[in-house]
Amino acid sequence: MIEVSDLSYEYAESGLVLRGVDYSQRAGESVALLGANGSGKTTFALHLNGILQGQGQVSVGGIRVENATLEQVRQKVGFVFQSAENQLFLPTVIEDVMFGLLNQGVAVDEAKRRAEEMLESMHLSAYADRNPFHLSAGEKRRAALAGVLVMQPEVLILDEPTTFLDPPGIRELAAMLKRQDMSKLIITHDSQFALATTTRAVFFEKGRIVAEGPTREIIERFDWL
């Protein structure tokens, strides 16, 4: 589902941040991306839907990620950003959750029905007509997730999804993710959450993947618990 070979990326101000990353992920697999702050996890993930394009090759679902394929790729890859609040931009939560569906040509009634269902499963029904800017941080995060999950992407990328969530919210998110059978790539500093939601982990260090294996083994090896 995901194939990355020899990927390097340099930010103008930071120099080389990814240094020849090779990565692959099977369809339906759920993988944790672990590593210290600044090790390149977010930068790596942003290549999977073409927000960043570095040196090397990236393909998703057999499609090479490049300018000509961005639209196709973004239909496959759902991304909840590390700062998910930037992802909400319409006057109401329900409109935000419907936005991607409408963009894909889903009829308004159908989009509304699916968005309402999704909000219900995220315990956000009461917020449907509220302005997303006036939600709490955790509610914003759940609203952003709802907008991505409602699209039923083949690959779901979550960058620090537990940030701002309370413990019951984290447990609920883990349970919900387990019910989804798409491929998942989860960037997290929460080892319990990684253990609950993924079977395999890769560990980033200074722009390289320095280890991969069963999530528990990687967490123990790097004393990441």
Ligand X SMILES: Nc1ncnc2c1ncn2[C@@H]1O[C@H](COP(=O)(O)OP(=O)(O)OP(=O)(O)O)[C@@H](O)[C@H]1O
Q: Residue 41, interface with ligand X (CB under 6 A)?
A: yes
- How many residues touch Mg ion (CB under 5 A)? 1
Beta strands in 52-97 (DSSP E): 55-60, 63-64, 77-80
Q: Residue 35, interface with ligand X (CB under 6 A)?
A: yes
Count Cβ atoms within 10 A of the Cβ of residue 102 and give its class: 0-12 exposed, 13-18 middle, 19 or more buried: middle
Q: Residue 42, interface with Mg ion (CB under 5 A)?
A: yes
Q: Residue 37, interface with ligand X (CB under 6 A)?
A: yes
Query: Looking at this protein, which amino acid is placed at residue 95?
Result: E
Cα→Cα distances 70→51, 52, 74, 116, 152, Å: 9, 11, 6, 28, 17
Q: Which of 5, 24, 27, 38 binds ligand X (CB under 6 A)?
A: 38
Query: Looking at this protein, which amino acid is placed at residue 34?
Result: L
Task: Give Dmax (Cα) for the chain.
Answer: 51
Q: Residue 197, interface with Mg ion (CB under 5 A)?
A: no
Q: Residue 40, interface with ligand X (CB under 6 A)?
A: yes
Stretch that binds ligand X, among 12-20, 89-97, 113-121, 140-148 (CB under 6 A): 12-20
Q: Residue 43, interface with ligand X (CB under 6 A)?
A: yes
Q: Which two tokens stand for residue 146?
A: 């709802």
Query: Looking at this protein, which amino acid is placed at residue 165?
Result: L
Give the nearest distance from C-beta 144 to ligand X in angstroms: 16
What residues make contact with ligand X under the rule CB under 6 A?
A: 11, 13-14, 17, 35, 37-43, 82, 204
What residues make contact with Mg ion under the rule CB under 5 A?
A: 42
